[in-house]
Amino acid sequence: MLKYELIAERIESLINNGHYEAGDKLPSVEVLRSEFNVSKSTIINALKNLEKTGLIYQARGSGIYVRNPKRDGFVNLFTADGFSDEFKGHDVTSKILKVAEIQPEDEVKQQLKLKDNDSVYLVDRIRYLDGEVFCIETSYFSKNVVLYMNEEIANGSIFHYIENNLKVKVGFTDIYFNIGKLNKKDATHLELNEGDPSLEYEQIFYTSTGIPFDYSKIIFHYENSRFYIPSIK
């Protein structure tokens, strides 16, 4: 983890623990720099990270303030974190449907910018939030970046494994939404009825150097999923 991310985590902890509440003004950049004994650029990057995730806002000429907290149980669509990090304090579990090394179809090759002989790890999971079905997740991981995958890893936080074990820095993500209706197979996995509405999205994750490594298709349970977009100008 980079230094500015560690500082962002420490400031986030102060906010989450009630040291700073919604509407409170944070110390200035110079005061934070001195308090954490880091460079000014590190503090600026940490604040940008917190602003992007919707924890703070910066008012020009006035200072840095704590935003209203995100409603509990909502997915922040403007973050590249996995569900385990997004729902800290909740029980996030998985049912593994399939983990396999495969030769990808053309669509996956295109999204992950793969060559003809490149293979991927396919991970099919049903994700649960506090015991309730949350979504179906079908992910394709480029073996050029994600060197190994098995059911034990897929049962936990894949992103923790990628960042902590493989030392891959996750950078950003592209998301494409689609509203549809469930087919029989997906409805069965989600414990819903065929033809029920669904929010589907395709998500491509990139490393901090811009290399696509994860192409995922996610179908959310329309009754158990809620979303949050922290907009900044």
Same domain, 61 and 81: no
The whole-chain average pLDDT of the chain stands at 88
- 178 phi and psi angles, rounded to 5 deg: -150, 135
* Confidence (pLDDT) at 203: 92
Q: Could you tell me the pLDDT band of residue 75, with boundaries at 50, 70 and 90?
A: confident
Percent of residues, the chain, with pLDDT higher than 90? 56
* Confidence (pLDDT) at 82: 60
pLDDT exceeds 70 at position 199: yes
Q: Which residue has the higher pLDDT, 3 or 113?
A: 113
How far does the chain reach from its first CA to its final CA, in angstroms? 28
Please state the rounded mean pLDDT for residues 206-211.
Answer: 93
Where do the H-state alpha helices sit in 53-119? 83-86, 106-112
- The pair of structure tokens assigned to 31 is 């005061």
pLDDT exceeds 90 at position 68: no
Same domain, 56 and 93: no
Reading phi first (left if > 0) and then psi (alpha if -120 to 50, else beta), residue 61 is in: left
**Does some domain include residue 111?**
yes
Q: What is the pLDDT of residues 135-192, one digit of tens each?
A: 999 999 999 999 999 999 998 889 889 988 999 988 888 989 999 999 999 999 999 9
CA–CA gap between residue 129 and residue 190 (Å, rounded):
12
Same domain, 138 and 224: yes
Instruction: Give pTM, 2 decimals.
Output: 0.74
CA–CA gap between residue 64 and residue 81 (Å, rounded):
24
Say which residues have a Cβ less than 8 Å from residue 149's Cβ, sequence separation at least 6: 99, 101, 121, 123, 141, 158
Q: How many CA atoms does the CB half-sphere of 184 hold within 13 Å? A: 0
Say which residues have a Cβ less than 8 Å from residue 99's Cβ, sequence separation at least 6: 121, 122, 123, 124, 149, 150, 151, 154
Range of the domain at 219: 75-228
pLDDT exceeds 70 at position 232: no
**Does some domain include residue 149?**
yes
Q: What is the CATH number of the domain that holds 32?
A: 1.10.10.10
The number of beta carbons lying within 10 Å of the beta carbon of residue 162 is: 24
CA–CA gap between residue 102 and residue 35 (Å, rounded):
50
Same domain, 223 and 152: yes
Same domain, 191 and 129: yes
Same domain, 91 and 187: yes
**Does some domain include residue 176?**
yes
**Does some domain include residue 11?**
yes
Q: What total number of domains does the chain contain?
A: 2
Same domain, 140 and 30: no
Q: Could you tell me the pLDDT band of residue 121, with boundaries at 50, 70 and 90?
A: very high
Same domain, 103 and 47: no
* Confidence (pLDDT) at 204: 95
CA–CA gap between residue 1 and residue 5 (Å, rounded):
6
- The pair of structure tokens assigned to 67 is 């935003």
Same domain, 30 and 82: no
Q: Which residue has the higher pLDDT, 52 or 216?
A: 216
**Does some domain include residue 21?**
yes
CA–CA gap between residue 155 and residue 133 (Å, rounded):
15
**Does some domain include residue 233?**
no
Same domain, 128 and 209: yes
Q: Which residue has the higher pLDDT, 213 or 169?
A: 213
Separation of CA 164 from chain center: 15
> Of 45-54, 67-76, 120-129, 216-225, which range is least confident?
67-76
Same domain, 100 and 59: no
Q: What is the CATH number of the domain that holds 83?
A: 3.40.1410.10
Same domain, 114 and 28: no
- 223 phi and psi angles, rounded to 5 deg: -95, -20
* Confidence (pLDDT) at 1: 66
Q: What is the pLDDT of residues 37-64, one digit of tens each?
A: 999 999 999 998 888 777 888 887 888 9
Q: Which residue has the higher pLDDT, 126 or 13?
A: 126
Q: Write down which residue in 66, 93, 109 finishes a domain.
A: 66
Q: Write down which residue in 31, 46, 66 finishes a domain.
A: 66
Q: Write down which residue in 46, 66, 86 finishes a domain.
A: 66
